[in-house]
Amino acid sequence: MSSLSLNEYAKLLGRLRLVDSNDLQLCLDGLPQAARNTEGLSVALQRQNLLTSFQVNKLEKGDTSGLVLGDAKLLYRSGSGTFARVYRAVSIDTGEMLGVKVLRQRWAVDPNAVTQFHREAELIKPLKHPNIVPIYDVSVTGEHHYFTMEFVVGGNLKDISKARGKISYLEATRMARDIAEGLRYALTKGTSHRDLKRTNVLLGTDGRGQLVDFGLAADEALNPGNQKKKKAQRSLDYATLEDGSGAPPNDPRSDLYFLGTIYFELLSGQHPYPRAKSREERQQFSRYWNAQPITTIDSHVPAFVVDIVEKLMHLNAEFRYQSAEEALVDLKHALEQLETDSSDADKTDNVKKDDHETTLMFVEQRPDQQKLVRDFFTSRGFRVLLVSDMQRALNRLKTAPPDCLVLMGGSVGKQIIEGFKTAAAQSQGRPPAIIAVLSKEQTGWKGRLDDSLSPTARVVTHPIILGDLRKAIEEAVAITTQ
């Protein structure tokens, strides 16, 4: 990139469709003389959230391929697996956020891998269910094979488990219910998952679980009746379970076993059996024999929940739930019981000590995120103010402070650092609560904010769901009223 003149670099950005021509011209016009070079333009575009660090790094290496695939402009890489990478992207035409799954280049030259990749998309594309991430289009641009899907704002269960440890029995059961709902629906369309694990379950900020990555199910559909090939291409964990327990290859009940392991880990914060350090260890069926009872980790898990976990994880498939539909009956009954048990506590949490309506002010300029936080928090009795400008929010703190100021890092970018420190410093007297929400790309900035922390000023980091954010807000606001 450094070899390009400013004019050449600007034309490249336009030709690649990375920056709208009007935005690009405004940025060029505003460049000071000392910054009228490619680096200065890149810095200015990043400051205006018109380029991302991912895009700039690719451009600096002279790699312009794969930045825009069809209508999808790739923003960040959000996940990576053996066969494919997943990116956060935006539709150039509509502005809609998208997820884009791209086959790794080393597999793009393998006809079988390409066929399987496209088959996954075509198999799952007709599935329309709240607990399955929808796939929109599958295509090829140059040497890049990819498909677009809904972008789920949140994180996968592995990242969330790592950040939070165990979660409440109620939340864990809701998540298990969501997974089972997705499995039940998929099976009515002739599809099982075949690779169920925490990284393949996404938890949105609305608290809804959604299944992704049915790649091995696609392989099963691609090779019907070929037992040898099907066995060879099964997930290693599924193959070890089925071969060791005598279950038939590609048994739909295997999905339920691994639903049980996910449920176990959500409830306890620990894995049910020893972690495998190598492929050889993953092939040892004894790992499953050594699964520990969940009550050895948490003796307070309700008996009816323990019963569901144990039945899901029964090594003999004949004694396991025979379908997701059957498991859902017990999971829904468990939810009813858990919701009843917690209703008094929930009511207490929601009772206001006075008639004051808690006011939240979010610094957030993205329309989709504005709608999300407005709908979530207003439905729970909060008054929500939305501003897109940091300085306006800081001015409001001086004149008519809200009960809580929430700075959304994914929207305000680097301004969150100074904005948070300024807000914390000027909130004297009766301070409002101040929450900085750092995006996945900003988690490394937490240390730069820690010196401004106080009982009413705190930092939360990705992955986080709105329920967690609500809890952080309520805890901070409670301190301001003491």
pLDDT tens, residue by residue, 329-352: 999 999 999 988 765 444 444 444
The predicted model gives 15-19 an average pLDDT of 93
Does the pLDDT at position 230 exceed 70?
no
Q: Give the number of residues written for the chain.
A: 482
Q: How confident is the model at residue 395 (pLDDT cuts 50, 70, 90)?
A: confident
Bridge partners of 145, per DSSP, are: 140
Who wins on pLDDT, 356 or 154? 154
pLDDT of 148 above 90 = yes
Q: Of residues 333 and 383, which shows the higher confidence score? A: 333
Q: Indicate whether 229 pLDDT > 80.
A: no
Q: pLDDT tens digit string along 90-126? A: 999 998 999 999 999 889 999 988 988 898 888 889 9
Which contiguous run of DSSP H or E holds residue 123? helix 111-124
24-40 pLDDT, tens digit each: 999 899 899 888 999 99
Within 10 angstroms of residue 109's Cβ, the number of other Cβ atoms is 9
Residue-averaged pLDDT of the chain: 86
Q: Mean of the pLDDT values across residues 233-250? A: 84
Q: Give the torsion sign (CA, 65, 66, 70, 73).
A: negative
Contact yes or no for 409/416 (Cβ under 8 A): yes
Structure confidence at residue 427 (pLDDT): 53
pLDDT value at position 297?
93
Main-chain dihedrals φ then ψ at residue 226, nearest 5 degrees: -95, 85
Site of tokens 């200065």: 40
> Which of the four pLDDT bands, split at 50, 70 and 90, describes residue 363?
very high
Provide the pLDDT for residue 216: 60
| Cα–Cα dist 145/372, whole Å | 32
d(CA 368, CA 55) in angstroms, rounded, equals 22
Whole-angstrom distance, CA of residue 455 vs CA of residue 311: 44
Average pLDDT over residues 473-482: 82
What's residue 180's pLDDT?
Answer: 98
| Torsional class of 67: left (φ above 0), alpha (ψ -120 to 50), beta (otherwise) | alpha
CA pair distance 455, 338, nearest whole angstrom: 32
Give residue 353's pLDDT.
41
Highest mean pLDDT of the ranges 41-50, 220-229, 313-322, 346-355: 313-322
Alpha-carbon span 185 to 189, nearest angstrom: 7
The confidence score (pLDDT) of residue 211 equals 96
Provide the whole-model pTM: 0.74
Rounded-to-integer distance, Cα 236 and Cα 426, Å: 57
Element housing 361 (H / E):
strand 359-363
Query: What integer pLDDT is reported at residue 137 of this predicted model?
Result: 93
Mean of the pLDDT values across residues 33-61?
A: 90
User: What letter does residue 222 receive in the DSSP assignment?
Assistant: H
pLDDT at site 233: 52
> Is there a contact between 422 and 404 (Cβ–Cβ < 8 Å)?
no
* 426-449 residue pLDDT tens: 655 556 789 999 988 888 888 888
102 vs 333: CA distance, rounded Å = 40
Site of tokens 């502005």: 95
Cα–Cα distance for residue pair 412/416, rounded to 1 Å: 6
Q: What does the pLDDT read at residue 231?
A: 39
pLDDT (tens digit, 9 = 90+) per residue, 454-473?
778 889 887 778 888 888 89
- Structure tokens, 209: 């679980």
Among 313, 311, 309, 418, smallest CA distance to 363 is for 418
C-alpha dihedral sign at 236, 238, 240, 246: negative
Higher pLDDT, 345 or 421: 421
Residues 6+ apart with CB under 8 A from 32: 40
Helices 253-268, 157-164: inter-axial angle, 10-degree rounding: 20
The dihedral sign for the CA sequence 187, 190, 195, 200 = negative
Spatial CA neighbour of 44 closest among 61, 62, 60, 56: 56
Residues 170-224: pLDDT tens digits?
999 999 999 999 999 999 988 889 889 999 999 988 889 999 988 665 445 444 4
As a whole number of angstroms, the distance between CA 439 and CA 462 comes to: 5
Q: What's the whole-number mean pLDDT along residues 11-15?
A: 92
In 3D space, the residue among 418, 389, 386 whose CA is nearest the CA of residue 402 turns out to be 386
Strand order from edge to edge, sheet including 209-211: 154-156, 201-204, 209-211
Tokens of residue 480, six digits: 């301001």
Q: What is the mean pLDDT of residues 355-365?
A: 82
Residues 6 or more apart in contact with residue 264 via CB below 8 angstroms: 271, 272, 294, 309, 313
